[in-house]
Amino acid sequence: MQDFLTTENLIALLTLTSLEIVLGIDNIVFISILTGKLPKEAQPKARRVGLAMAMLMRIALLLAISWVMGLVRPLFPVFGHDVTGKDLILFFGGLFLVAKATHEIHERMEGEAQQNDKARVAPSFLSVIVQITLLDIVFSLDSVITAVGMAKHVPTMILAVIIAVLVMMLFAGSISGFIERHPTLKILALSFLILIGVMLIAEALGQHVDKRYIYFAMAFSLGVELLNIRAHVKKKAHTLP
């Protein structure tokens, strides 16, 4: 216990927890959009299961560090780039994210008639959990490799993951509700997922993208949209009799 409570470990724990929360925001957005298609009473359970799956996935990967680090070893060359197991996972995960987000945007922009179509089948709880699990693999792999490079002790990394997921569980309902109440914010969130998907594909192809630029662009766009929402609310309040 004394070895664990060192200054170095505590700093690593705080840093990793903050990083896991930041990296988990896109995961929360994706989970919120997918669970939004389920009946209201099933949505909280789906969010909890989705985040629990993310936590278990990251802990399992941390316990299999030797296998995870083996994913960064070259497998075969393509146009001068040494493709690794991590590249393959990021590439197909990015493609899935871009395709899914594009489909969701199309459905919301062109789906008025479809929503009134009674023959349309709503997604099942199991299908939503399967989709969340597939993306959890991609998001977890990225965060775990980052964690391995920042901390030396596996218990520190596991504790950081648990704390981060508990924080995300605490705020997931509020974030989901806010996204559901504002359709334009949902489109913006889906656009963020396309951006993240493209970034994953670029990294898989050997093109390093500084994530600080991505997160700054997302934060700036979100800030502008929140100002638009506030202005709309004020305008609506003034027009009421």
Question: Could you tell me the residue ranges of all domains in the chain?
Answer: 7-239
- State the pLDDT at residue 118: 45
Residues contacting 28, CB < 8 A, separation 6+: 51, 168, 171, 172, 175, 176
Contact criterion met (CB below 8 Å) for 38 and 162: no
In the chain, the percentage of residues whose pLDDT exceeds 90 is 0
- State the pLDDT at residue 105: 82
pLDDT in tens, 48-85: 888 888 888 888 877 776 676 677 788 888 777 788 88
- State the pLDDT at residue 100: 82
Alpha carbons within 13 angstroms on the beta-carbon side of residue 14 total 6
In the chain, the percentage of residues whose pLDDT exceeds 70 is 82
Residues contacting 127, CB < 8 A, separation 6+: none
**Maximum pairwise Cα distance, the chain:** 69
pLDDT in tens, 104-146: 888 777 665 455 544 455 678 888 888 888 877 777 776 676 6
Contact criterion met (CB below 8 Å) for 141 and 89: yes
Measure the CA–CA gap between 36 and 186, rounded to whole angstroms. Answer: 11
User: Per-residue pLDDT averaged across 36-41, rounded?
Assistant: 82
Alpha carbons within 13 angstroms on the beta-carbon side of residue 126 total 0
Contact criterion met (CB below 8 Å) for 20 and 62: no
